[in-house]
Chains A and B, each alone.
Chain A
């Protein structure tokens, strides 16, 4: 439905933070460990892990643990949903405006 994608909403929330955006940008270059990702930030590990979990819950990243190292990578399927949202917007407006054209034709007939 137009504009109505509950799944997308967790994505929007995940993006609404500069640390999380920076992590995503970094992961755009390829998978990385949590400790490597946290290196540029002046932040303790627990709050940083919270950001990682938010991104994971939103489906934007996938993480896996091998031994003591947790590795993160981008989940491209999630980005495709954002793209689909825009395509749906277009479809919705095209459909609405066809109806509006017909309505205006009718109204013009009534007033002239």
Chain B
């Protein structure tokens, strides 16, 4: 394996969006499959030390993916992605929500809408996820305060941190 390709994450306080952009050294169709087929998603979608396990998957407009992320102690964190629009193999839009084991959405937890696009470049595929949070209005306000009122500006620091790390592979 070569070193990781750069991961670009930016939080836009104006639009309440988190953008996650990354290249993959593989053809677009293959990358698309990894994002849209349960048996492949289960192999990567949960960050370490968690593992993903699909309960049900219907990848079609109006369908949803219901899965758990499981920690090493066996605790299950359930979530579901509801697919709103699908344009194979270029893009899809899904609503990301926490749920329980039955698939009932947990309204107390933040929900985000994901616009995921797949883009061919010379030898790689670029995937961009724009996650729009209801909640990042919160971040906007936090940032406003930091900037305007001289409060400790955590987001400025974070911006710098993200910029620095974006330039280098992890």
Contact = CB atoms under 8 A, between A and B. Distances in A.
Nearest to B69: A1
A87 B158 contact: yes
A104 to B, nearest CB: 4
Contacts of A6: 108-109
Interface residues of A, number: 45
Nearest to B152: A76
A87 B95 CA distance: 22
B9 A93 contact: yes
A79 interface: yes
Contacts of B98: 3-4
Majority SS of interface residues in chain A? Answer: helix
Contact of A89 (B9, B145, B149, B170): B9
Task: Determine chain B's interface SS by DSSP, over half rule.
Answer: mixed
A86 B134 CA distance: 15
Interface string A1-27: 111101011011011100001001100
Contacts of A82: 138-139, 142, 154
B18, B141, B151, B152 interface centre (most CB from chain A within 10 Å): B141
B137 A15 contact: yes
Contact of B34 (A2, A83, A103): A103
Given A96-B45, A96-B47, A107 B26 contact: yes
Contact of A8 (B40, B110, B144): B110
Given A99-B43, A104-B30, A86 B11 contact: yes
Given A103-B44, A104-B31, 19 more contacts: A2-B47, A3-B98, A4-B109, A6-B109, A15-B138, A16-B134, A28-B146, A28-B151, A29-B149, A82-B154, A90-B7, A96-B46, A96-B47, A97-B7, A101-B1, A101-B24, A104-B26, A104-B30, A107-B34
17 contacts: A1-B50, A1-B77, A4-B77, A4-B109, A6-B109, A28-B149, A82-B154, A86-B18, A91-B47, A92-B47, A95-B48, A97-B24, A97-B44, A104-B24, A104-B34, A107-B30, A111-B30
Interface of A: 1-4, 6, 8-9, 11-12, 14-16, 21, 24-25, 28-29, 74, 76, 79-80, 82-83, 86-87, 89-105, 107-108, 111
6 closest pairs, A vs B, by CB?
A28-B149, A12-B135, A95-B47, A15-B138, A99-B44, A28-B145
